Structure 1
């Protein structure tokens, strides 16, 4: 028996017709007409819940979001048993990216209309988005029962089973579906994709003979159109079935088709029982012989010659490396060093490469007075110098690299790559201003090159030159954008957002830095939200194999290096704010804004005014020219241009944990992540999470300097607890502490032993001094320990020296300036240890634009 319809929902015939028209107007996006139609109904029936919901939905699309949402909520309250009202409420929540609540609304709607196809499809998409695969299978079953003649429903159920891990059920659904097919048209791309998906399923199930049989039958009948996919599946399946000769022929055919695909070579060698990433014993010579054969058969292919360098060792390596390097230098390949840099993990190969290129340089230098041979380009010597500069900089001999670059610039002063790499060497030497200036000189050589301009802007940000960097970004961003940075943020430029955030952090503008770090988080949120559209699209277009690769990729989205960096950096700022609330309140005070923050506030105010003006203009144009399709929402106003609200002490740790929580499972092997998780968890009094992070960090690198500091910190925090945590937490914490630190050794002795084991490491010296300070050691001893990093036998990088200086300043050491002066003399080419007045002068002269530069810029523009 059908459920009775509430009397308050029933409309007279005229209004009922208007309501149907209202639904059609919304579907066709005729929003103005839809609003008028809804008003006609509401004039007589002001409490008709479904009409109120539809009007609210229309208003949200017209930019009146808050008003629309209130109308929808009112409509739902007036008619709690209407599937239309709940469906509309679900659409509103889905638009707000609140997928859990949207699914609850759809579930309510289905209680009152169990066979509504639109609601069921939307619910299935939400279940996929939320990874609720059990419910997805049930929903797809319902859709198939309602419309068994629609092939999309069969495929949707198979994919649901697949995502839920029920591969046999997915295979069974596909077999039933294929048995019902009749009169399939020739070259049907959708059917071809389904067959490839079926073969993939069989391969994952380990049913290789059946998969190969299905592949061969449909390949011969031309039912599968993608010939490359046929060969790839066939090669893999034959290898897994042990038919090595036939598989080898197929892999070889694939290599001939695409001779620079490393995956094809890996498949070829795997078929022969050789793992290219771990070649040992007799397999090495076999692999080299195969690669030599490929090199002779495919003389234009670089992949076999490059792979041979990975496999070879000793004299074989030198024999193969010499022609490879010489050819690359003769051709003037700028990326040659980047190509072979991975070989430097083997010290023997590193030395062999250096000797080969040095010998070539000496020979070319001795022949400099005579014309080059036919086999050598006249620029070979130039590229040899460039390669050697990269080699010596990579091996930390930066001064020698600069000498080689200067010689190369005397030879050819107009090659941008030389100036670009000179900038990189200066950056490594601790001279960000000189690096930015050198990169600017490279940019001026070709002002229309977007890559050069981008690199120059990046180096300006690293030098803290925000305004100068924005000028460069403005050359290639939209002229009508509120600012170059805003346009780059809209384009989801992770490079810009990361560098800008780091620049603000170095300048002490924590609010602006946090805004950029959260903008990076927003980019990843948007990428995650964007997958929603593919849940329906991929089934409609039958792009099944790509879709099934997309889902696990999205699950690991936040393992991206940019997200990890932003999450760690932002959490460190939040921890600093939590530990020093006075500094946070000072930073949030409008009277204590940095120059960068003041400029940003002024720019944000102008940008907000521009956005408001553009919005009004767009609204006027939409009303006058296309009033029925005003779907664009008004851009949200930025009410916190300097990030002051993000500096609030009360919510600092919660914000930090929100950023770090995805990395608990996605970046377990990153020790920096584990350290950051500990820092936040221990301050949130989550001792179990803190202990777990420390145990994981210790399993990754038990001697890590930052871990050493946290071990002492954890011991002190647990020891200072007013009372032991109740069971079972207390026993777990004590067990973890016993595992992390030896009970029989005092903290002072533990710290001393650590320093003895790593007495030549600058980072270990800093860690030891930090621990001494935590243990309440007199400041004179802490200072003495920190100054130990300046001993000749200690390996001290510029960045570590900067960190030690910051540590001395943070503890109020009177010897901080002495340390700075000593480092300034020690690192003579560095500028990071200069006085503020000296840095201001360096900043001023960093971009003194010459008349020649002005002329070039005018010509380019």
Structure 2
């Protein structure tokens, strides 16, 4: 760049330097380069376009608006100039200005009223979206009515019209629109909800009448029978449920339980469901009819009733009953995959994950070409800690000649990586677990970078509604459950590494063997030699596979590196597990959660754990206050509050103003003068809750100075846990699993 500048080409040099920075994903630096280039030629179209792309990528919306305005002034005849300028105002939430710009541009378009043009249609729908977001519902409805014939997406027109009519309180017209939509798709729940809002039923009877009329009109429809179950109760609920279940069981509809799961928050409805379906099962076994005055049903009806009951009892944690029903169903039809899948789920919910994995493997063996069952089986194997077996299971559906793990990473298969991370964490293989967490983090970075190509494509193809939705999605991308789970796992591991740093293996071994007898030491050495030999053989096998895959992967890796702007740093488990400052690494994962996942208490409690170790008291206060606002009775929060109280009271280095603020907030949060009485009040309040009692015991241990008191306290909690398990009628948790699979005799607890 210096050489080019010396030859009198500063504009080109800064532009090229900006392109290099952009290719390396250093967008902030690239923006600086483009701005320097514009000092030499402020009207350079190419540089302005490149600058606008970087500004929208980095969400510099004010700068983006200014750049798009310059481009509009320089090229007013280009469509992209107008659209880009309108989108800038839209993203800045100046909807009226955005609507005016689009209208001015629309007037320049020469289109016949009867001609259907897709790009013009998308422009009209985008303009209507901007009007709606501006709150101009009347203008939006008039706009939709005027240009209805020129819009290709007729379904979007009808749905938008229904929403606008409801917003304008023109209920009769809205009802007509939603009835037309029901004719188009009688299984869409939102159309029934829209019709409800339009008709404004004053009572439950009037609301039920809406659905009865719909069922008469669409007798094969299931939605008109299902939706009333959400608001009905008592005999009416039983009557409607009876009709709904008979239709589904006769048809053999596997997902019927899933559609009813939301009703399980109401204990009365759960009781009615159980009473009704158990009655069906008894009647079908004795007479093959739902009721004495009914018609004879095929044998499969009983099968689906038992399938439903297994899921029902599993949902209400009666796992023994659930197993009895699913075993009866399997005995009658031992070739139905869904039955084995539910049996595996029952064992998983009961806590016997090894047995769950075994039954999921049985399901997978029935249809080895079913990718869904294959993925489920791999997931259960990972939950059981069988990582190698899970990789072999996934290898059946990955690219031949490539490592299954590498191929799944290329495909951004995040469910596999999150489960792997949790499995490695439970096995205390922290380096491997962190590698998976960092791989997931990289996936989200790649997804964010991938949006760059759409900034020009979407404006060229006029897919403006989808483009704006994409930008809004990218802004909250890290709210995704996969990212939260990976970040949570990584933070927990880094906290553990901070508290218990990894030590040198030889020193650790020497310390462990110091108190062993000669016989025990010899036995240990033999065991270690066998393990070392086994590990060596596995390593040789692994290296041979890598050697074989290297040729296939080398070219692809080079192409990928060229596309993404250079090779990425290799994730080495040993290096990840021995970072210099684990807390700083944890903060990197925490920051997106604090910005985007504020509604989860775990975010703020994880933040507290980090700041507690960093001794940042004001940030600790911020974390506990936010957590307290979400759930003041959370067991983990209780421990954090007491530790915070003790930390503040014992700290000697706090500034006077900070100390005063902290003490004021502590008195407001605690309502008690000391932590011990606060903890005792907590235990008294939640005496019958095991999680709260365990939290109280941990807190007592943290506070108490005499260990004997703490041991007594922990014994009290353990006794309570034992009594709870002993008195439980369900024996599934204590069923022995296969000794060969478990690696020895034992029980799942």
On whether the aligned pair clears a TM of 0.5, the verdict is yes
**1:459 aligned partner:** 380
CA deviations on 1:557-588 (whole Å, 9 max, x unpaired) are: 1111111111112111111111122x366599
CA distance in 2, matches of 1:606, 1:158: 57
**2:120 aligned partner:** 191
CA distance in 1, matches of 2:93, 2:377: 49
**1:773 aligned partner:** 701
In structure 2, relative to structure 1, the CA distance for the partners of 1:130 and 1:640 (3 Å cut) is: closer
CA distance in 2, matches of 1:633, 1:528: 12
Kindly report which structure 2 residues correspond to 1:565-644, keeping only aligned pairs within 5 A, or say none. Answer: 565-581=485-501, 583=502, 609=547, 612-614=550-552, 636=567, 639-641=570-572, 643-644=573-574
**1:740 aligned partner:** 669
- For the Cα contact (< 8 Å) 1:110–1:116, is it kept in 2? yes
Selected match of 1:348 from 268, 287, 291: 268
Measured after TM superposition, the shift of residue 445 of structure 1 is 1.4
CA distance in 2, matches of 1:519, 1:509: 16
Measured after TM superposition, the shift of residue 83 of structure 1 is 2.5
CA distance in 2, matches of 1:75, 1:460: 59
Measured after TM superposition, the shift of residue 732 of structure 1 is 3.0
CA deviations on 1:204-253 (whole Å, 9 max, x unpaired) are: 2222222222221212xx32222112212222222222221112111211
Measured after TM superposition, the shift of residue 721 of structure 1 is 1.6
Selected match of 1:529 from 433, 442, 449: 449
CA distance in 2, matches of 1:438, 1:837: 15
In structure 2, relative to structure 1, the CA distance for the partners of 1:606 and 1:139 (3 Å cut) is: farther
Is 2:171 the counterpart of 1:268?
no
Is 2:744 the counterpart of 1:841?
yes
CA deviations on 1:760-804 (whole Å, 9 max, x unpaired) are: 11111211111121113444433332333455698968xxxxxxx
- For the Cα contact (< 8 Å) 2:182–2:191, is it kept in 1? yes
CA distance in 2, matches of 1:588, 1:292: 76
In structure 2, relative to structure 1, the CA distance for the partners of 1:377 and 1:838 (3 Å cut) is: closer
Selected match of 1:665 from 580, 585, 595: 595
CA deviations on 1:237-274 (whole Å, 9 max, x unpaired) are: 22222221112111211121122222222222223347
CA distance in 1, matches of 2:26, 2:20: 9
Is 2:218 the counterpart of 1:298?
yes
Selected match of 1:124 from 52, 64, 68: 52
CA distance in 1, matches of 2:240, 2:226: 9
Measured after TM superposition, the shift of residue 480 of structure 1 is 2.2
In structure 2, relative to structure 1, the CA distance for the partners of 1:617 and 1:556 (3 Å cut) is: closer
- For the Cα contact (< 8 Å) 2:605–2:636, is it kept in 1? yes
- For the Cα contact (< 8 Å) 1:287–1:311, is it kept in 2? no
**2:171 aligned partner:** 244
- For the Cα contact (< 8 Å) 1:385–1:408, is it kept in 2? yes
**1:52 aligned partner:** none
**Helix, strand or coil: the match of 1:148?**
coil
- For the Cα contact (< 8 Å) 1:215–1:234, is it kept in 2? yes
Is 2:629 the counterpart of 1:699?
yes
**2:515 aligned partner:** none
**1:94 aligned partner:** 22
Measured after TM superposition, the shift of residue 339 of structure 1 is 1.4
**2:350 aligned partner:** 429
Unaligned segments of structure 1, at least 5 residues: 1-48, 50-73, 275-281, 623-628, 798-821, 847-861
- For the Cα contact (< 8 Å) 1:461–1:500, is it kept in 2? yes
Selected match of 1:398 from 319, 322, 339: 319
What TM-score comes out, normalization by structure 2 length? 0.89
CA distance in 2, matches of 1:742, 1:832: 46
Kindly report which structure 2 residues correspond to 1:185-264, keeping only aligned pairs within 5 A, or say none. Answer: 186-219=115-148, 222-264=149-191
- Segment of structure 1 superposing worse, 551-560 or 158-167: 551-560
In structure 2, relative to structure 1, the CA distance for the partners of 1:633 and 1:714 (3 Å cut) is: closer
In structure 2, relative to structure 1, the CA distance for the partners of 1:730 and 1:108 (3 Å cut) is: farther
- Segment of structure 1 superposing worse, 204-213 or 484-493: 204-213
CA deviations on 1:622-670 (whole Å, 9 max, x unpaired) are: 9xxxxxx9956799487444x1222235321111111111111321121
Unaligned segments of structure 2, at least 5 residues: 513-527
Kindly report which structure 2 residues correspond to 1:700-779, keeping only aligned pairs within 5 A, or say none. Answer: 700-725=630-655, 727=657, 729-744=658-673, 746-779=674-707
Number of aligned residue pairs: 727
CA distance in 2, matches of 1:215, 1:550: 24
**1:338 aligned partner:** 258
**2:339 aligned partner:** 418
**1:41 aligned partner:** none
CA distance in 2, matches of 1:301, 1:229: 23
CA deviations on 1:804-835 (whole Å, 9 max, x unpaired) are: xxxxxxxxxxxxxxxxxx99x99864479999
In structure 2, relative to structure 1, the CA distance for the partners of 1:586 and 1:190 (3 Å cut) is: farther
**2:516 aligned partner:** none
CA distance in 2, matches of 1:637, 1:293: 62
CA distance in 2, matches of 1:535, 1:833: 58
CA distance in 1, matches of 2:319, 2:65: 60
**1:319 aligned partner:** 239
In structure 2, relative to structure 1, the CA distance for the partners of 1:157 and 1:335 (3 Å cut) is: same
- For the Cα contact (< 8 Å) 1:608–1:637, is it kept in 2? no
In structure 2, relative to structure 1, the CA distance for the partners of 1:604 and 1:684 (3 Å cut) is: farther
**2:63 aligned partner:** 135
In structure 2, relative to structure 1, the CA distance for the partners of 1:231 and 1:734 (3 Å cut) is: same
